[in-house]
Amino acid sequence: MRQFLESVNSFLDAPLDLAPRVLLVLACLCLIPTYVAPLYNMTMFAPQYQEGLRLDIYSYKLVGGNDNQDVKEINVLNHYIGMRDLVTEDFSEFKWLPFVIGILGLLFLRAAVLGKLSHLVDVLVLYLYFGAFALWSFGYKMYQYGHNLDPKARCASSPSRPLVRLQEARELRGLLLPPARLLRARRRGAAAGAGPGPGAAAVAARERLALCEGGRRPGSAAATLVCVALSAGGPAAFAGEMAGVAPGALEGRPPVGQQSPLQARIDAAAPDSTLEVASGVYAGDLVVDKPLRLLGRGRPRLTGSGAGSVVRVRADRVTIEGFEIDGRGGGDLSRDSAGVHTAARDTVVRDVLIHDSLFGVYLLRAGGAVVEACRIRGIPGKDPGEKGSGIHAYDMERFRFERNEIVGVRDGLYCKTPRGRDPGNVARDVRYGLHYMFSDDNLFEDNTFENGAAGTAIMYSERLVFRRNRFLRNRGFASVACCFRAARTCWPRAT
């Protein structure tokens, strides 16, 4: 045994020749691009995305193409199956991976300078260990994203609900597409010498998506989305309708530098009181976190900071009335930035002019909401995919949207909520005037939907009544007055 150990020590103490030392230096230099170039990228194509949606995964961040709009488009359908959004902050790998790559580089240089075989063995063992750990981390994150789904998601598979077919998922976006593959992915792996990590781990992912044709091959909704793209342990779901839950925390109190001067008055007001606001311009965002009636006199103007929602309602029984709200064309679509964003019950938004905001009024689990006599204008110059809806209702029950005028947004009224009423609204220069998704027992009447791709899109909804509506000048290669998908027991009357 002693002789064996001495021979091993003698072997490890052997000096390296010049050629191995040069290769070690080159290996170290090959790690430098991992700090400036993507380790891995993927581009996905579909009929509605002729130019493709691109994801670039660096050692420290995840970036979407088109000024990061592509990753937002990829995230927006995740809420239908309850999958978390794909954001850099969710991946601890981006925090430590650059340091590990740097340590490997230093070990390469150490082996080249000191020139012993033992140093080469050290760096090789660590390299293999880190590569194996990266592959395990990738698989673990893939499992977590594919299995830890929100059980409240309407499209999530369960014993009581059939698995979502790809043809159905194809139309969640509201586009009537031919029965071909939804997305085709082309990817490129890590740069030469990039070493293990997110890029090298992603090379082990599937080369192609497991897609079903016309819904014939069964597969869970989670599997459908996970197979689209997973890199650095995260999912990239194919694009869909606007996300209902913002990544990370709900927008709360704005930072001091972005607060409206009205915030102090709101904080000082007694609950269930009326706070009258005189005419004028009030710059900054505000949060209402107690039952309160904000009443504008002379149409005071609330000019947002451009960083998020202008008015954030976080308490039940809040009324916003008589204001002009200017979103300044800012905010973040993935965080549902709106002129008025409410996540509380019994919110009333009345006689409010909202313009230059991504969403007009966003209602998140805001049962009993009323939006009436409001005028909402989108952001001029933005494509429909870069805008939100005029009124967007998500995951709630009971509402009334009445006598609103909505112009130049993505969808005039978007509802994923049952038991509501939409009377007397006007929506024009939009994609869909009214868009129902999983919205049962609703009534819409006396509305005018003009100059869009479709007057209404009714999908996966039952027991709807619509009457005395007007559908005018809807134009396009696939334009229709009413688009139905998996909508049963709908009663159109005098429309």
Domain membership of residue 6 (yes or no) is no
Rounded distance, CA 44 to CA 46, Å? 7
**414 phi-psi bin (left φ>0, alpha ψ -120 to 50, beta other):** beta
Decide: pTM greater than 0.75. Answer: no
Same domain, 297 and 362: yes
Q: What's the rounded mean pLDDT across residues 93-122?
A: 88
Same domain, 150 and 227: yes
Q: What pLDDT does residue 329 have?
A: 94
Same domain, 164 and 55: yes
Same domain, 260 and 227: no
Nearest-Å Rg of the Cα atoms of the chain is 27
> How does residue 50 score in pLDDT terms, banded at 50, 70 and 90?
low
Q: What pLDDT does residue 210 have?
A: 29
**For the chain, how many helices (H) and strands (E)?**
10, 32
Q: What pLDDT does residue 380 have?
A: 93
The fraction of the chain above a pLDDT of 70, given in percent, is: 75
Which of the listed ranges 7-21, 305-319, 458-472 does the model predict with the highest average pLDDT? 305-319
Domain membership of residue 240 (yes or no) is no
Domain membership of residue 56 (yes or no) is yes
Q: What pLDDT does residue 155 have?
A: 55
Domain membership of residue 429 (yes or no) is yes
Same domain, 182 and 270: no
Domain membership of residue 241 (yes or no) is no
Domain finish residue from 205, 235, 265: 235
The CATH number that applies at residue 289 is 2.160.20.10
Q: What pLDDT does residue 12 have?
A: 80
Q: What letter represents residue 213's amino acid? A: E
Q: What pLDDT does residue 49 have?
A: 57
Instruction: Please provide residue 201's backbone torsions phi and psi, each rounded to the nearest 5 degrees.
Output: -65, -35
* 68-72, 372-376, 424-428, 461-465: least confident range: 68-72
Q: What pLDDT does residue 186 have?
A: 45
Q: What's the rounded mean pLDDT across residues 146-152?
A: 75
Interval 5-19: pLDDT, tens: 877 777 788 888 888
Q: What letter represents residue 181's amino acid? A: R
Q: What pLDDT does residue 211 have?
A: 29
pLDDT higher for 331 or 287? 287
Q: What pLDDT does residue 170 have?
A: 39
Domain membership of residue 4 (yes or no) is no
Rounded distance, CA 495 to CA 468, Å? 5
Rounded distance, CA 406 to CA 394, Å? 18
Instruction: Please provide residue 354's backbone torsions phi and psi, each rounded to the nearest 5 degrees.
Output: -120, 130
Q: What's the rounded mean pLDDT across residues 117-142?
A: 85
pLDDT higher for 292 or 232? 292
Same domain, 308 and 227: no
Same domain, 303 and 218: no
Q: Is 90 exceeded by the pLDDT of residue 168?
A: no
* 55-69, 104-118, 119-133, 397-411: least confident range: 55-69
The fraction of the chain above a pLDDT of 90, given in percent, is: 38
In 439-487, beta strands by DSSP E: 443-445, 448-459, 462-467, 470-472, 480-485
The parent domain of residue 312 ranges over 256-493
Q: Which helix (H) or strand (E) holds 198?
A: helix 198-203
Same domain, 111 and 204: yes
Q: What distances in angstroms separate CA 3 from CA 6, 7, 8, 9, 117, one per listed residue?
A: 5, 6, 9, 10, 19
Q: What pLDDT does residue 468 have?
A: 92
Q: What pLDDT does residue 249 have?
A: 56
Alpha carbon 462 to its chain's center = 27
> In the structure encoding, which two tokens stand for residue 248, read together?
């990370």
Domain membership of residue 50 (yes or no) is yes
Domain membership of residue 67 (yes or no) is yes
> How does residue 172 score in pLDDT terms, banded at 50, 70 and 90?
very low
Q: In whole numbers, what is the pLDDT of the chain averaged over residues?
A: 78
pLDDT higher for 110 or 149? 110
Overall number of domains in the chain: 2
Same domain, 173 and 307: no
Same domain, 223 and 345: no
Q: What pLDDT does residue 478 have?
A: 60
Q: What pLDDT does residue 257 have?
A: 93
Three-state helix/strand/coil letters over 31-82: CHHHHCCCCEEEEEEECCEEEEEEEEECCCCEEEHHHHHHHHHHHCCHHHHC
Please name which of 144, 319, 318, 172 lies closest in space to residue 239, comparing C-alpha atoms.
172
Q: What's the rounded mean pLDDT across residues 45-69?
A: 77
Domain finish residue from 175, 202, 235: 235
Q: Write the burial class of residue 350 (CB in 10 Å: 0-12 exposed, 13-18 middle, 19+ buried).
A: middle
Rounded to 5°, the CA angle 157-158-159 comes to 140
Rounded distance, CA 230 to CA 202, Å? 7
Rounded distance, CA 148 to CA 228, Å? 17
Three-state helix/strand/coil letters over 79-130: HHHCCCCCCHHHCCHHHHHHHHHHHHHHHHHHHHHHCEHHHHHHHHHHHHHH
CB 393, CB 421: distance < 8 Å:
no
pLDDT higher for 94 or 301? 301
Q: Is 60 exceeded by the pLDDT of residue 413?
A: yes
Domain finish residue from 184, 200, 235: 235
Rounded to a whole number, what is the distance in angstroms from the first to the last CA of the chain? 94
Same domain, 314 and 169: no
Which of the listed ranges 82-86, 117-121, 173-177, 419-423 does the model predict with the highest average pLDDT? 419-423
Q: What pLDDT does residue 77 have?
A: 61
Residue 220 has a CB neighbour count (10 Å cut-off) of 17
Same domain, 272 and 231: no
Q: What's the rounded mean pLDDT across residues 438-448?
A: 91
* 73-77, 196-200, 476-480: least confident range: 196-200
Q: Is 80 exceeded by the pLDDT of residue 33?
A: yes
